[in-house]
Amino acid sequence: MSYADMFSLAGRHAVVIGAGGIGAEVVAGLAAHGARVSSLDKSLPTADSATQRAAAEHEGEHAAYEIDILDEAALSELAAQLGPVEVLVVTAAMNVRKQLLDYTAEEYDRVVDLNLRGTFHALRAFGPGMAEQGRGSIIAFSSLRALTVEPGQGVYAATKAGVVQMLRTLAAELGPNGVRVNAVAPGVVETPLTQQIRSDEQWNHAYASKSALGRWARPEEMVGAVVYLASDASTFVTGSQLVVDGGWTAIDGRFTPPFG
């Protein structure tokens, strides 16, 4: 294989679960690199929108499906209908920003169910087919909160750390079958889900200034990591977490001491 072709996804079928926000950019990015993309989302209009954009911007027969990742039977049935899948990307997640002692049991269940159990369902639905065909790349989105926490992020952080450990385990279990399993850990990204934070000037500035680059990420800036992990450019990468946080987790605070 030539180096020029290492990032090509031509001839591969990619499934993206969670087609809004970052997921929509992932759909477009995978299609741009030649993949045929199936967009899965709880809302068909959201999945349709991502798929139509991919079809309009790039050649290929892309499709959209309305599916609840928490409906294990329906997800497994759809996985069987879709046929061979070489790339699986899971972006679906939610957060309830509350201090731990203020959490209700219902809120805890909602966050844990979608973030952890939903990812588990996706792995169980598509992992066996990849293992059987002897190839595949599974990519799930974690978060910088899998590495660092702040008040109000405890349950979300726990689920994202759990996702990483689950992916590492699957990487060990499916490695002999030729299936790679990795995580992408974004920093703070401009999406509809973070609008509440960005609407607060002080909160918005605090998050922007924490990274080495001094700004929020754009959703499309997550695509390169996904394409890399999906492609032959990363054939010896598995059990890893690729952090795309603008340097957030590398910096100990933002105070610049006086020199000289």
pLDDT digits 0-9 by tens, 149-198:
999 999 999 999 999 999 999 999 999 999 999 999 999 999 887 888 88
Distance CA 156, CA 113 (A): 11
Q: Is residue 140 part of a domain?
A: yes
Mean predicted confidence (pLDDT) in 60-89 = 96
Q: In this predicted model, what pLDDT tens digit does every residue of 83-141 receive, in sequence order? A: 999 999 999 999 999 999 999 999 999 999 999 999 999 999 999 999 999 999 999 99
196 occurs within a structural domain: no
Average pLDDT for the chain: 94
Q: Is 3 a catalytic residue?
A: no
- Asked, for residue 210, whether it belongs to a domain, the answer is no
211 within some domain: no
Strands of 13-17's sheet in order across = 63-66, 36-41, 13-17, 87-90, 136-141, 179-186, 241-244
Q: Which of 3, 65, 108, 156 is catalytic?
A: 156
* Residue 30 is assigned to a structural domain of this protein: yes
- In angstroms, the CA 21 to CA 37 distance is 16
Q: Is residue 259 part of a domain?
A: no
193 within domain boundaries: no
Expressed as residue numbers, the domain containing 9 is 3-188+221-240
**pTM listed for this prediction:** 0.95
Quick check: is 167 in a domain?
yes
The total of structural domains in the chain comes to 1
Task: Please report the pLDDT score of residue 260 as a whole number.
Answer: 58
Give phi and psi for 236, each to the nearest 5.
-110, 20
Q: How far apart are CA 251 and CA 245, in angstroms?
A: 11
Residue 58, domain CATH: 3.40.50.720
